[in-house]
Chain A
């Protein structure tokens, strides 16, 4: 079993960049993107992120934009709705569509543009992280964010065993299917309940066995993991410069309106 962007996360050109820097970068960009008053800043962030993901990390553009189309699916209708139906104070353009009078307001257009640019910047930030960072390295970033150890350890174990249990689940389901377990609604219910009980019991079992195996390797209650996350000075410098610039642009464009 493999998970969507996993493959790229382990093989992209930016996989060795410090994950702590990446998280810091993404986090500050999300914050700047959300708090900016003009669509300029989110738009710059969006362009930067797309550039970093496609050009620097060498993620195939097709796969990238397939993922990107999901938020656009919501954002574009919302954009149109905001422009035409939310109303506003400063009328801007008016036109007739099949006998309906449609009125566009300046302020609602600005708001809609800001909303869309935020969606774009936020999505591009998260996709950047998802496409370039292996799950395995997230733990060091979580540590940086002072997440309690117990949660980090749990998330790591869950991540590992999702695949194991999912695999078991598919096999069990297939075996039920081949014995016609899902032919009627009633049978489906029955099979499904059996399946879920069984998966639960097996997961418990695995937990117990894993504990024994870990103790055999001198587990003492705390999972110590090899963390390799070296911060490159140049990358750090670039990050600070970029965030400084973004902050400046944000300040300069705080009263800017597009229309």
Chain B
């Protein structure tokens, strides 16, 4: 079902600037939509129509099948449904403390006091800012302010979250944190719409992309559809994602094949297909060898190379014969030529579900059980996705290898033959399984996975 739809939307600012020139889009419920376009394309203007702040000069906005009405009661109703996070958190956060700011929306809805408290707590926890509840906003960093701004909107419990440039002015870690928060909200069923000019982010994260230029929609489709249209991209002054660019360069040199990749995973797949080199890497890491053993490899040209496997099952070259590459401890080795047949062995991915914040979060988990699960499976790599999973891992004092882009990193590790354990919060488990299954189908390399239910100990 389309949760937001616009029909022939036109808008001119009072000074005569025609910012929107007939925009018709439909946004599906539960999707993650990225609106990309250059500065001045009209992204912010379009967003301000979604919650009724601006009134179109022509055309209309339809929310859940009903056109927006602009009387004050309908607007309040609309704004509890569509939450808007503005680009600059300083334009949004006005109260003297974080908690008071987050409570502002719920208090305006005339909710009972304990319901307000519950929502504030939930919102602050969801963005990981509960420790800052009584701090004044000017004590916070840019990324923290952004989270507070999100919490302020979350506390209204909207179904749709609209964010104007959520990652602009944030450092890479801060951006990834925000993205993960959005991911989690999406897993909880919320529709997320954001604008960005970070093409890589849109490609990696959105499941539909809408290209806006000079107040018009140029194209709306899945990332593959959008980035396959190279002429459209260059005509609108955008650029292709880094992976797509690199891939094109490799493809014209006959190095990689297949479809245009959008993620590191696709990319590695498309590059490694015609090559044995990376498969050798899989074999070394995944073969039945123990740490400390030497593994011999015979190269195509007849040279022999011995590789010593260290505790992490990464190989270290100690070598006689010709060593192709001196890897440092813990690094992957690269062997450039291989003879004989190599059967790559993949690792396993174990998924451990962690309850969501509303289900008790980290408090519903016994840390000893977590440690025991890890001791039993002794995974090579550990990942955590979702706020409460991260809290659990941190509390249990476990060193995490993957905290961002967890699914992809885990699959890449498993393809190298490493066993991975992923702690995942609530609705994100589905997504992990989906991704692994689709990878298994595409790459032809079977990654085994299982979900380990741990007992909740309340």
Contacts and interface: CB of A to CB of B under 8 A. Distances in A.
B79 to A, nearest CB: 5
Interface in B112-162: 116, 120, 134-139, 152-153, 156
10 contacts: A2-B139, A134-B134, A213-B91, A214-B104, A217-B79, A218-B156, A219-B108, A225-B95, A226-B99, A226-B120
Contacts of A159: 96
A210 interface: yes
Contacts, number: 96
Given A2-B138, A226-B107, A218 B80 contact: yes
Nearest to A16: B134
Given A159-B96, A226-B116, A135 B136 contact: yes
A136 interface: yes
A216 interface: yes
B79 A209 contact: no
B414 to A, nearest CB: 43
In terms of DSSP, what is the predominant structure of the interface of chain A? Answer: helix
Interface in A207-225: 209-210, 212-220, 223-225
A218 B80 CA distance: 8
A219 B76 CA distance: 9
Pairs A-B, 8 closest by C-beta atoms: A136-B96, A163-B138, A217-B105, A224-B107, A226-B103, A218-B108, A209-B91, A213-B92
A223 B104 contact: yes
Given A2-B138, A10-B136, A164-B138, A156 B96 contact: yes
In terms of DSSP, what is the predominant structure of the interface of chain B? Answer: helix
Contacts of A177: none
Chain B interface residue number, banded: 35 or more
Interface of B: 48, 51, 53, 76, 79-80, 83-84, 86, 88, 90-97, 99-100, 103-105, 107-109, 116, 120, 134-139, 152-153, 156
B135 A10 contact: yes
A132 to B, nearest CB: 14
B136 A212 contact: no
Interface residues of A, number: 31
Contacts of B103: 225-226
Interface in A6-20: 6, 10
A212 B53 CA distance: 7
A206 interface: yes
A212 B107 CA distance: 17
Given A2-B139, A163-B138, A218-B79, A224 B94 contact: no
Contact of B94 (A135, A214, A220, A226): A214
B91 A224 contact: no
Contacts of B97: 134, 136
In this complex, which of B80, B134, B137 has the most chain A Cβ atoms within 10 angstroms of its Cβ?
B134
Contacts of B152: 217
A209 B84 CA distance: 13
Given A224-B104, A226-B103, 19 more contacts: A1-B138, A2-B138, A10-B135, A10-B139, A134-B134, A134-B136, A136-B95, A160-B136, A160-B137, A161-B94, A209-B88, A209-B91, A210-B94, A213-B91, A215-B79, A216-B51, A216-B86, A220-B108, A225-B95
Nearest to A165: B90
A216 B163 CA distance: 12
B104 A217 contact: yes
B292 to A, nearest CB: 52
Interface string A120-138: 0000000000000011100
